[in-house]
Amino acid sequence: MAEGMGVGAAVRRREDERLLKGRGRFTGDIALVGMKDIALVRSPLAHARIRAIRVPPEHQGAVFTWADLAKGGVKPIRAVSGLPGFKISDQPPLADGKVRFVGEPVAACVGRTRAEAEDIAALVEIDFEELPVNADTLESARAPKSKIHDHWSDNLFLEADTVVGDIETIAASAPIKVSRQIRMARQCMVPLEGKGVVAVWERQAEQLTVHTSTQMPHIVRQGLAECLGVDQGLIRVIAPDVGGGFGWKGLLQAEEVIAAWLARALDHPVRWTEDRREHLVAAANAREHRYDITAYADATGRLLGLDARVLVDAGAYSAYPFSACLEVGQVGSILPGPYDFAHYRCHAVSVCTNKPPIVPYRGVARTGVCFAIEQIMDAIAGAVGREPHEVRLLNLVPPEKMPFVNVTKKHFDSGDYPESMRRAVAAIDLAGIRKRQKKGEADGRRIGLGLAIYCEQAGHGTAVYHGWGIPMVPGHELAQARITPDGGIEIRVGLQSHGQSMETTLAQVAHQVLGVDISKIKVVHGDTGLTPFSTGTWGSRAAVMGGGAVAAACKVLVERATKIGAHLLQAKPGDAKFENGFVRAGLGHVPLAEIARVWYRAPQLLPSDVDPGGLDVTAGYKPKSDQGTFSYASHAVVVAVDTETGAVEILDYVVVEDAGVMLNPMVVEGQVLGGIAQGIGTALYEEVPFDAEGQPLASTFADYLVPGFPEIPPIRIVHMTTPSPLTEFGQKGIGEGGAIAPPAAICNAINDALKPLGATLTDTPMSPKRVFAAIAAAVPPVGGPTNGRRVTPLGVHSHDDSLAAGNKP
Amino acid sequence: MKPVDFDYERPATLDAALKLLGREDLNAKPLAGSQSLGPMLNLRLVQPELLVDITAIPELASIREEKGFLVLGACVTHAALEDGGTPDPTRGVLARVAAGIAYRAVRNRGTVGGSLAHADPAADWVSVLAALGADVVVARTGGRRTVPAKDFIRGTFETALGPGELVVEIRIPALSANARWGYAKICRKAGEFSHATGVVLIDPARKFARAVIGAVSGPPIVVDDAKIAERDPGEAWVSALFAGTPLGDDAYQIRIHHVALKRAIAEARAP
C-alpha cells in the first residue's frame, strides 16, 4: 500500500465528515420558499384502459393528468435501441389512456404538505376498464393474454441471437451434457435514500433548476429537455448528496419530468419524495432472468460449448437511457464468463410484461449470468466427478493468453483468473471443509462449500455502446482542473459520487499529479451548472474514466505551470521540471502557489508567450482502448443448511479480487463488502413476487426482506493486483463486482451441502421455503441418505415450462 | 405514506383517557409505543380522528408484585423487561422474550399492552403470555374486567376488547421454583416477526404443563398436557392440530411449527 495521499493510499473518506454526522444535504433536506409537495395517484391495476379521471371540484387546479402535460408540450419518455427488431415503447410520465403496471403514475396532486397532497390524491377517482394482465414472463412471451403496447405484434421488446462456432456438431459429439433451468427473481434495489426531486423555475437566471437524487445529472438534463421540449441551456440539474443509487438513479424518471414541468407551469417550487411503498411497489425493479442452459464438455470437464435460451422480464416500458435492450444484450455477450471455449449459442429475449420496468441494478445482467454459468460449471464437475474448482481451472482463460479475445469478442485486458481461484480455494480451506463434511455437524445441519468466479467489464465506452443505438453513448470523459489564486486545486467532474468516495479518490489522483496536499484539493461533482458533460456514474466507470480525466487535466496544469515557473526561475522551459508541487530548475524552485499568485495577481511577471488559457483547463480522456477493463474475483463460501427448516447460515466468506491498481484500497474493500451484502440479499432474501393479476405482493419491508447487519457474515478479502494495460494508473472498475458472484457461490454451497440428499436449488432467493421444497422433492442418490418421509413440495418453482420449447407464442 | 389529519391528546389520568376513548361521536384510538400503529397510520390502514396517547399515565407504566402475580402496566416497554432490574417471578421468561423482539429501537418504545391489543398472531407476547397463563385486565369508563391471555386474541388483529375498552394491566402468575420453560421462534432474519413460535412451560408444583404453538393464522394454539415435555409429539401431531385451518395444507408451515415446538421442548427439558 502506498504511503501518503496519492494513488494507492488508503486515505480516509473526506465525505464522511458530513455524512456520518447526519449533516449531508439530500433532496429531502432542501426547503425552498413557497415549495409545495407532490403526491401521485398511482394505478391500482396492472393493465387497464382509463375511461375517465374524476377530480373533486374543490381540487381542480391541484390535480394534473397527462392531458395537462400534453397540452403543455410534454412528450413521453422514449428510450430506443438501434438493435434490429427492437420495438419502441413510449412511456408518458402520467398514464395516457392506459396503465401498464401497478403503481404507474396517473395523476399528480399538489398540496402544501405531502399529507395534504395525499389527501387530495385519495379523492381522485379513476374509472378503469380492466384488461387481461400479463404478469408471467413465459406467458407474456409465448401466449400473451393481451397486447401491452397496442401497436406491437407481440409482447417482446427484442430477440437477440448470438451464435459463434458450431454448437450443433458439439452437441452431437460431446460426451458430457448438462442442463439447468435457472431463475433469478425480480428484485427491488432499496437504496437507503429513495428518489427525490425538487424543481424550481428561477426567473432571474431564466433557468429550471432540478435538484434530483441522480447518478447522472447531465443525462437527466438531456432527457428532461427532450421531454419538456426546451433547450438544454434552460435546465440545470443538481444532484445533492445522494444516498445510494445502484442503478435506480441512473435513469430519467417520470417523476422528474412531472416535477420539472409543474415547477414551471405553477411558478412555484415543487417537491416529490419517493416513499418506501412507492419504491417497493412501483419502482426500482431489477433482475428477473430465466435461463434454460446446456453445456457440453469432454470427459475431463473441459467446456466445449454452451447453448442457452434466456428470457429477461423487462416490465412494461423501456427505461431511459439504457433501454429494454441492455440487459438481454449483456446476457448474450457475457454469459460465457471468464472461460475459454469456442462454440456458443444464445437466444435472449427481452419480454414486456405488466410489471414495473426493470432498470440496471449493480452488476446488471452479470449477476444473473454468473448465477447461470457458475451453476453449470458445478454441474459439469458433478458429471465428471471432479472438484468444482478443478473444472474451473481447466476452463479459465490462463494468464499466458492475456490479453485475450473471448468467444463473444470481449477483450480481457489482464489478470490471472486461475490463480485467483486457487487462492480462494486455499483461503476457504477446501480440504478442511471436505473432512468436516465427512464427519458431520454436531447440530445436525449440513455444511457445503460453493465457488463462483466472474470477470466484470467496466468503464467500457464508445466501442461497446455505439452498437446498442441507445440515447447515450459515452465518449471522452471530461474533467476540469483549476489552480485557485491561493494555490489550491479545484476539480470538476460531471460524474456524481453517491458512495463511490470520489471526493476522496479523485483528489488522490490530482495529488498524484500535482503534489498539492489533499486538504487543498476540492472535488466538485454532480451539477450540470458547474461541471463538464459526463454520462455520469454507472457501469463501474468512475475510477477508470474520472480518474483518467482528472489526471489528464492535471497534467495540462503541470505543463502550463512549468512554463510559467521556468520563466520565473529565468530558465528555459526545457530545463525546468515539475515535481511534487514545485517547478525546479537548476538550484532554484518555485511553488505552485507562487505560480498561481503570478497568474492571477501579478500577470506582468508572466512570460510573453504564456498559454492564455491560464491555470484553468478542461481535458478529455479515453483509455487506450475503451472496450473496458476486466476486473475479476473468485468468491468462496461455506454455508450450513438446516435441512429441517431450510434455513441457511453463511459460516465463512472469502473474496479474492483483482481491481488492478487500487486508487484507494479501503474504498475498494468498501465497494466489495457493500456489493456482497446486496448479493447475499439476492441469494437468500429479496424477491418482489406478483400474483396472476400483476399485484406486487411485497409492498413493505415486512414482506420484502433485505439483509441487515446480523445477516452479513465477516468477509475476508484477498487482493491481487494485475494492472490494466489500458488505463492511466492501471486501475480497473470494480464498483459492481461484489454484487455479482454471491448468488452463484451461495447456491453452489447450498447444493454442495444438499448433494447427499439429491436436492438441487436453481432459483433465487434461496429462502427456507425453497430449500425445504427442494429437499422434499429430492430423489436421494442411490445408497445416499434419506431425509424422512416425503412431503408435498410447496412454493417450489415449477420447471415443466421449459424455455426450450421455444420462446415465441 | 402520511397519515390522515387527526387530533391528538395525551391525558395524564386513566379516567381521562377512558373518557376520550369512550366517545361515540368520533373514531378514537389509543397510542402507546406506536411501533405497529405508526406504520399503519402512515399506510392509512387506520384513519382515526383522535389519537389518545396513554404513555403519560403513571399507573400504566408501573411494574409491581401482588399476591403471587407480577402486574405489568400496559405501557411497560419491551426494553424495560429486557433490561431487568424489576421483579421477575417468571424465572427469566420475560427478559429473554423481550430481548428477542424486533430491534432495540422498537423495544425502546414498543409496549406489552400495545402488542397484545394489536393482536398480530406472530407477536411474541401473544404466545408467551398465553403460555404463562396470564390475565389481561381491560377497563372502560365505569368498569373493569379480566380476560385470560389465551382468550384475548380472537383472530388476526382481533381481540376481546369492546368499544371504549383499553388494556390496562397484564397479570402474570409467579412460577414455582422448579418450573421450567422453553421458547423458540423461527425467523428468516434478525428482528423479523416470527413465522413459527413454540412455547413450553412446565410447573410441576402447580401441576401445570402447557405448550403453545404460535404465529398461526389466528389465536395461538394452547395445549394443556402433563406429558408435553416428555417427548416430541411429532410432526403428524402438529399436522392434526392444524387440520381445517388455513395452515392445514401447508407442509412447510407444519414443519416449522413442529420444529419450533420441538426446540422449545428441548430447551424446557435441558438440565
Alpha helices, DSSP H, located in B9-63? 14-21, 37-42
Establish if B250 touches chain A: CB-CB under 8 angstroms: yes
Retrieve residue A85's grid coordinates. Answer: 427488431
- Does residue A343 surpass a pLDDT of 80? yes
A119:B44 CB<8 A = no
Long-range contacts of A568-571 (CB under 8 A, 24+ apart): A568/A594, A568/A595, A568/A598, A568/A605
Establish if A275 touches chain B: CB-CB under 8 angstroms: yes
DSSP B16: H
Domain formed by A31-131+195-242+249-282, architecture: Alpha-Beta Complex (3.90)
Residues of A in Cβ contact (< 8 Å) with B104:
none
Q: What is the pLDDT of residues A379-433, one digit of tens each?
A: 999 999 999 999 999 999 999 999 999 999 999 999 999 999 999 999 999 999 9
Portions of chain A given CATH number 3.90.1170.50 = 31-131+195-242+249-282
Answer whether A137's CB lies under 8 Å from A311's CB.
yes
DSSP A660: B
CA distance A578 to A563: 10
* Interface residue of B250, B255, B257 to substitute, partner A, most A CBs within 10 Å: B255
Give me the sign of the Cα torsion angle B257, B262, B265, B271. Answer: negative
CA distance A493 to A528: 9
pLDDT band for position A779 (cuts 50, 70, 90): confident
CA distance B248 to B163: 33
Mean pLDDT, residues A458-475 taken together:
92
- φ and ψ at residue B221, rounded to 5 degrees: -90, 120
Per-residue three-class SS string for A243-308: CCCCCCCCCECHHHHHHHHHHHHHCCCEEEECCHHHHHHHCCEEEEEEEEEEEEECCCCCEEEEEE
Establish if B44 touches chain A: CB-CB under 8 angstroms: yes
Retrieve residue A577's grid coordinates. Answer: 521540471
Considering only the beta carbons, identify the residue of A113, A768, A794 that sits closest to B188.
Answer: A768
Answer whether A716's CB lies under 8 Å from A433's CB.
no
CA distance A106 to B265: 55
A721: alpha, beta or left? (left if phi > 0; alpha if psi -120 to 50): beta
CATH fold for domain A476-621: Aldehyde Oxidoreductase; domain 4 (3.30.365)
Q: How distant is the Cα of A363 from the closest Cα of chain B, in angstroms?
A: 24
Residue B244 parent element (H or E): none
Residues of A in Cβ contact (< 8 Å) with B259:
644-645
Beta bridge partners of A53: A126
Q: Helix A665-680 and helix A742-754: axis angle, to 10°?
A: 50
pLDDT band for position A3 (cuts 50, 70, 90): low
Quick one: which of B99, B85, B92 has its CA closest to B181?
Answer: B92
Strand order in the sheet with A489-493: A521-525, A489-493, A477-483, A616-621
Residues of B in Cβ contact (< 8 Å) with A713:
none
Residues 6+ apart with CB under 8 A from A766: A648, A683, A684, A746, A747, A750
Beta bridge partners of A493: A479, A525
Cell numbers 511553488 correspond to: A591
Q: Which residue has the higher pLDDT, A26 or B271?
A: A26
Establish if A704 touches chain B: CB-CB under 8 angstroms: no
CA distance A88 to A148: 12
Domain formed by A285-461+626-777, architecture: 2-Layer Sandwich (3.30)
B259:A645 CB<8 A = yes
Q: Which residues of chain B have pLDDT under 70?
A: none
B239 to chain A: nearest residue by CA?
A: A791
Establish if B192 touches chain A: CB-CB under 8 angstroms: yes
B255:A791 CB<8 A = yes
A767:B44 CB<8 A = no
Residues of B in Cβ contact (< 8 Å) with A793:
251
CA distance B198 to B260: 5
CA distance B182 to A743: 35
Structural domains in chain B, CATH included, are: 7-53 (3.30.43.10), 59-173 (3.30.465.10), 180-269 (3.30.390.50)
* Interface residue of A644, A699, A766 to substitute, partner B, most B CBs within 10 Å: A644
Considering only the beta carbons, identify the residue of A277, A645, A791 that sits closest to B186.
Answer: A645
Answer whether A594's CB lies under 8 Å from A568's CB.
yes
Q: What is each CA distance from A199 to A119, A224, A265, A638, in whole angstroms?
A: 22, 12, 11, 49
Q: What is the pLDDT of residues A524-581, one digit of tens each?
A: 999 999 999 999 999 999 999 999 999 999 999 999 999 999 999 999 989 999 999 9
Collapsing DSSP to helix, strand or coil, A179 comes out as strand
Chains A and B form CB pairs within 8 A to the count of 63
Give me the sign of the Cα torsion angle A202, A208, A210, A215. Answer: negative
Q: What is the pLDDT of residues A279-318, one digit of tens each?
A: 999 988 999 999 999 999 999 999 999 999 999 999 999 9
Range scoring the smallest mean pLDDT among A15-29, A60-74, A663-677, A773-787? A773-787
Answer whether A549's CB lies under 8 Å from A479's CB.
yes
Establish if A119 touches chain B: CB-CB under 8 angstroms: yes
DSSP string, A409-441: --EE-S--HHHHHHHHHHHHTHHHHHHHHHH--
Considering only the beta carbons, identify the residue of B43, B188, B251 that sits closest to A791.
Answer: B251
Q: What is the pLDDT of residues A163-180, one digit of tens each?
A: 999 999 999 999 999 999
Collapsing DSSP to helix, strand or coil, A613 comes out as coil
B5 to chain A: nearest residue by CA?
A: A115
pLDDT band for position A10 (cuts 50, 70, 90): very high
Give me the sign of the Cα torsion angle A795, A800, A806, A809. Answer: negative
Portions of chain A given CATH number 3.30.365.10 = 285-461+626-777, 476-621
Residues of B in Cβ contact (< 8 Å) with A767:
188
Quick one: which of A427, A549, A528 has its CA closest to A478?
Answer: A549
Residues of A in Cβ contact (< 8 Å) with B5:
115, 119
Q: Which amino acid is at B155?
A: G
Residue B7 parent element (H or E): strand B7-9
Q: Which amino acid is at A751?
A: N
Collapsing DSSP to helix, strand or coil, A506 comes out as helix
CA distance B31 to B53: 5
Mean pLDDT, residues A448-455 taken together:
98
